[in-house]
Amino acid sequence: MRPHHALWPWVLFGTAEVILYVSYQRSDARFHWFLHFFVGASAALLVMGTLILGWGRSTRHPLLWIFTGHMIAMFPDLLWNFLVAAHQPWMDVFALHITAHFIPGRNWTWYAMFLASLAFYLYAKGTWEAAGASAHGHCGSAAQATMIDVHHGEGHG
């Protein structure tokens, strides 16, 4: 991939998140945007890290996973903004949407959880990348390398 193509996902992600932030201008944007971003992104990072460790391969498009997590976490606010539904306890099915507002420490607690989730994801991704490096002759046995290559669809006959 050419270097300038690697910027597009970040530009799209940043633009989409700015739009979400602006959508909260009538209701304490700083608090609500960060709250639901931290909750949704944390959930996405935990799912991606778990899938990496469980499947033994990296997830594609991590920024899309994080954006989707954010959208799920804030979905009841979209319903509220468009006058479709008022907040109700059942909305906790959307990444603890209601309960998240009342956790002790509020956004600081969610920020700490986000950082822990990010650390878990980076650990999982680093473990996967290290396994891939060992599979390509950087370390480990030939049997391990073949097993990992087969798992990634690059098996040798």
DSSP 8-state secondary structure symbol assigned to residue 139: S
Tell me if 147 is assigned to some domain: yes
Q: Which domain holds residue 132?
A: 3-151
Across 31-45, 72-86, 88-102, 113-127, the highest mean pLDDT is recorded for 113-127
Tell me phi and psi for residue 138, to 5 degrees: -80, -30
Report the number of distinct structural domains present in the chain: 1
Please indicate, yes or no, whether the overall pTM of this predicted structure exceeds 0.75: no
Tell me if 142 is assigned to some domain: yes
More confident residue, 9 or 75: 9
Distances (CA, A) of 21 to 28, 70, 127, 145: 10, 11, 34, 45
More confident residue, 29 or 137: 29
Interval 36-51: pLDDT, tens: 899 999 999 999 999 9
**pLDDT band at residue 93 under the 50/70/90 scheme:** low
